[in-house]
Amino acid sequence: MIPVTKPYLPNRDKLKAYIDGIYDRQWLSNNGQLVQELTQRLEAYLGVENLLLVSNGTLALQIAYRALGVSDTDRNQKPEAITTPFTFVATASSLKWEGVQPVFADIDPNTWCLAPDNIEAAITPNTRAIVPVHVFGNACDVEAIDEIAQKHNLKVIYDAAHAFGVTYKGESLLKHGDAATLSFHATKLFHTGEGGAIIFKRKEDLERAKKMINFGITGPESIEELGINAKMNEIQAAMGLCVLDEMEENLQAREQVWQRYQQALPANLQLQARHEALGYNYAYFPVVFESEEQTVRVAATLKENGVLARRYFYPSLESVECLDAQAAQPVSKDIASRILCLPIYADLSADSQNIIMEIMKEVING
């Protein structure tokens, strides 16, 4: 079986050494030594400040909304946030969970990111924030989104779950917005088994969030904030430190896999258009087929031959009832119906890729 992705497992002996240290210190959570070390190393590696580690990527979004006041309730106003329907469900469900109504605006047909031209039309007196997604690690139009946010006094929280290590115009893409969130799920390019992080623009927002992830506790007898438990633990941090040590090897291997696909795929498949100033991370390889029927046939035939490809992201979220189904967003609906993410991970062999591409060509040309 060839999975769509699989976790990158770092050197086992190095991980064991970190675990031995945890046993020696007997400190497993509550901002331990390894969490502090990983925080510092990630800030240096990513070129950012005000990074906060949390227990998963969904809580990263929820804490960001709370820390920035997006989910503060008001009897006379149900807060709204404008977001994309072309994303993993957690982008929108985390808003809904926090009492914020996601309002979907359509995507750009080439970049597949939230289209700035569609944002302003969706703004109402209840709008508190814009929540764009750097889809598959591709940069949103951050300048245009920032201009709209400033004009309407809105917060911007980027779901940057796919954008670990991505640069834009020579700097970390994660520097944009009032906050950017990362997922460190096991299937991500960089992972801690399970985990996440928030990068805040302002230190005061970071300090508020630090209280929030520890129940609002600021001392043995002091509770200053309404909080929850969203802390990363030492075991997660140990895995992250090991994965970070091997990040360059991982990236180089994934780039080779990505390039093999790009060079061998049929010309009639649509690939995502990326900004020329983007430093990419090769985390995903999505392709768009000519029709939904062709997409379904390719996915089914691959599965029959032991290859798992995924329809990321399907369905387009404006059609999901539990998110309060909204008017169809035609571009997102169209792309979502025709997209397939092909297997990509560091040790995917060229032989396996050849099998995948031959099956696809047979279906397309059949």
Q: Is the pLDDT of residue 25 over 90?
A: yes
Q: How confident is the model at residue 68 (pLDDT cuts 50, 70, 90)?
A: very high
Cα separation, 170 vs 163, in Å, equals 14
Share of the chain above pLDDT 70, in %: 99
Long-range pairs of 357-360 with CB within 8 A, sequence gap ≥ 24: 357/261, 357/264, 357/265, 359/298, 359/301, 359/302, 359/305, 359/307, 360/265, 360/266, 360/298, 360/302
User: Mind giving me the DSSP string for 61-93?
Assistant: HHHHHHHTTTT--BTTB--EEEE-SSS-HHHHH
Q: Are 79 and 70 in contact (CB under 8 A)?
A: yes
Cα separation, 360 vs 354, in Å, equals 10
Task: Give me 168's structure tokens.
Answer: 């834009």
Domains of the chain: 12-105+114-244 (3.40.640.10), 247-365 (3.90.1150.10)
User: Mind giving me the DSSP string for 294-362?
Assistant: HHHHHHHHHHHTTB--B-TT-S-GGG-GGG---S--HHHHHHHHHEEEPP--TT--HHHHHHHHHHHHH
pLDDT tens-place string over residues 115-138: 999 999 999 999 999 999 999 999
Instruction: Write down the pLDDT at residue 63.
Output: 98
Q: What is the mean pLDDT of the chain?
A: 96
Instruction: Write down the pLDDT at residue 74.
Output: 66
Which pTM does this prediction carry? 0.96
Residue 24 exposed, middle or buried by CB count within 10 Å (0-12, 13-18, 19+): exposed
Q: Are 166 and 281 in contact (CB under 8 A)?
A: yes
Lowest-pLDDT range of 74-88, 112-126, 330-344: 74-88
Q: Give the residue among 278, 46, 47 at the shortest CA–CA distance from 141.
A: 278
Q: Is the pLDDT of residue 75 over 70?
A: no
Residue 27 exposed, middle or buried by CB count within 10 Å (0-12, 13-18, 19+): middle
CA angle in degrees (0–180, nearest 5) for 248-197-35: 80
Q: Is the pLDDT of residue 139 over 70?
A: yes
The residues annotated as belonging to the active site are 188
Q: Are 242 and 334 in contact (CB under 8 A)?
A: no
pLDDT tens-place string over residues 253-312: 999 999 999 999 888 899 999 988 999 999 999 999 999 999 999 999 999 999 999 999
Four-CA torsion 348, 351, 357, 360, nearest 10 degrees: -100
Share of the chain above pLDDT 90, in %: 94
Cα separation, 157 vs 5, in Å, equals 27
Instruction: Write down the pLDDT at residue 267.
Output: 83
What DSSP character marks residue 153?
T
What DSSP character marks residue 229?
B
